Structure 1
């Protein structure tokens, strides 16, 4: 910084004010400083700067998503990055992979890097690191899944209601033999979507024997195998509710393998790439990952700016997008 000041012909304090975008610096002076910064290839050390700043901020956030290779998680990450970058804040992001141990390690790594705030997806019902977060006073927002501790802001979808809506949509098209394909029950969102499915079936008076529930499907291939078995059984389902986007992809493969894509209705939870271009196009319950990400960042910055109100629970609306596959009627 001393070298930048010498080259620009200003004091060190002026360099600091320009770099930190503080007011009351003449435009010509700021241009000289930035020209010196470029000439010397000077880079601000944010961690060193945080030691000097009265608030100790590093201008970074930690983001833990389900998996960066899942389009839903990727969309959340992009929304968080866009909103944070607009405020001059960088985002450290990593994947959870539904592993509680990985969650613990990720949070520890974020704390070591002294991030200003955390946006987290959780794998388990209990978070053992919560005390450390509270002791340090770091603002935290949980997204997608509610944590076991209610003392944090959350931004989620109403999974139970949306799953009930999807199942009712199939029932309204004449289906009773409806199969549910779901992720592992230990995952809170999977359990909530199963609850919504069961409620809709029960409310319609459909016997449980007609509605097979297959859970613990961790990936596309597992969903493919599970639905293939159901479709080859003596009493195959006439409709399928796939309760996660990767499961939907596996279900699509199974329907095409068995030639039932035009006769078996399908609704997926979460949109999937090119779903509208398939034949038939895939009906989905679409979450709003961009809305989830933006809302989470807004809550983090509100906390950083002094909001000490009670924790807020934000529910982001879902949308049923009817494209054709979910509107296939049950056979007479």
Structure 2
């Protein structure tokens, strides 16, 4: 969608004034909650606002002038309590601080509805840019919600239906490497414990799991696959069911850090932490202090955050080159849990 199309879809203060039959100044006073406007005019403006679905324009921005004045950037991530999101947010904050800019942040909890509500809230509060790790499968709605001149940078997940810069990792390759590591240590019964299947990163990690099995001639067994594990407790319960199989897994690929934590808790409760091999996607605090220490495919949220912030501030400084996607590499950290040999329960 080109800028003219985007602008045409977004009603302006002038449109509200014309529909309500009042001046633009009156509309501005009503929208900003100022007193002294006749009740009839307030009613007419409010009705026009509802009819047009008008939202305040945020194109005026001290941030774009980069003149040292206080400004704000909205950051919407999966879950600010999650170690990955927390470290990513800190990296964004550090770069923003260098530019004299403040961040305000929100957690999406993998809810597309919450994503849209928070994006609308960011727009209403006149933030000057948006950094988004989307929960929705289609971000085309941003063409209407966010003014054309407002920079948007995606992190962790690339956009769908909306043209913007993005900073991501190669999730498929990272997962392929994790499962290949287990295969190279003799495992053939490798379970996949994954996040919500609607999440693109979860889809790519599952694809990497399947690709590694194919490359090593290992048949795919759907009984070893569990999707939709949104938290550690669900991961623990699903693992208990997997271990009851006639031919249970000898190794686990856990495709998100909360899932890894849930699986580890269950293994330790059953005394199986030295029996079942595990490689997790995403590192987490104290993973190196467990026994055995946890082998992971580590992302670099600090690098992701800094790269995203650099793209954003380049856009605010006037960079008009085509949007691009920056890919940050993952790395395999070998610690012990992923090197356990196959063992029959």
Mark the CA change 1:67 to 1:54 in structure 2 (over 3 Å): closer, same or farther.
closer
Separation of aligned partners in 1, 2:61 and 2:85? 33
Separation of aligned partners in 2, 1:53 and 1:199? 45
Q: Does 1:290 align with 2:302?
A: yes
What is the count of residue pairs matched by the alignment?
283
Q: Does 1:74 align with 2:86?
A: yes
Matched-pair contact (CA < 8 Å) for 1:58–1:114: no
Mark the CA change 1:127 to 1:210 in structure 2 (over 3 Å): closer, same or farther.
closer
Q: Higher mean Cα deviation, 214-223 or 253-262?
A: 253-262
Q: Higher mean Cα deviation, 102-111 or 255-264?
A: 255-264
Matched-pair contact (CA < 8 Å) for 1:179–1:239: yes
Q: Does 1:315 align with 2:324?
A: no
Please, what is the CA RMSD of the aligned residues? 1.9
1:208-244 Cα offsets, whole Å, 9 max, x none, are: 1387111011110000000111123221100000000
Q: Higher mean Cα deviation, 239-248 or 199-208?
A: 199-208
Q: Higher mean Cα deviation, 56-65 or 69-78?
A: 56-65
Separation of aligned partners in 1, 2:119 and 2:246? 49
Superposition misfits of 4+ residues, deviation over 3 angstroms = 50-58, 133-136
Aligned partner of residue 291 in structure 1, secondary structure: helix
Instruction: Identify the residue that residue 169 of structure 1 maps to in structure 2.
Output: 181
Aligned partner of residue 208 in structure 1, secondary structure: coil
Unpaired runs of 5+ residues, structure 1, are 1-49
Separation of aligned partners in 2, 1:135 and 1:69? 30
TM-score (norm 1): 0.81
The match for 1:274 among 286, 302, 308 is 286
Matched-pair contact (CA < 8 Å) for 1:239–1:266: yes
Matched-pair contact (CA < 8 Å) for 1:267–1:325: yes
Separation of aligned partners in 1, 2:159 and 2:331? 24
The match for 2:74 among 36, 44, 62 is 62
Separation of aligned partners in 2, 1:88 and 1:285? 34
Unpaired runs of 5+ residues, structure 2, are 1-59
Query: For 1:256-271, what aligned pairs fall within 5 Å after superposition?
Result: 256-271=268-283
Instruction: Identify the residue that residue 151 of structure 1 maps to in structure 2.
Output: 163
Matched-pair contact (CA < 8 Å) for 1:176–1:211: no
The match for 2:109 among 89, 93, 97 is 97
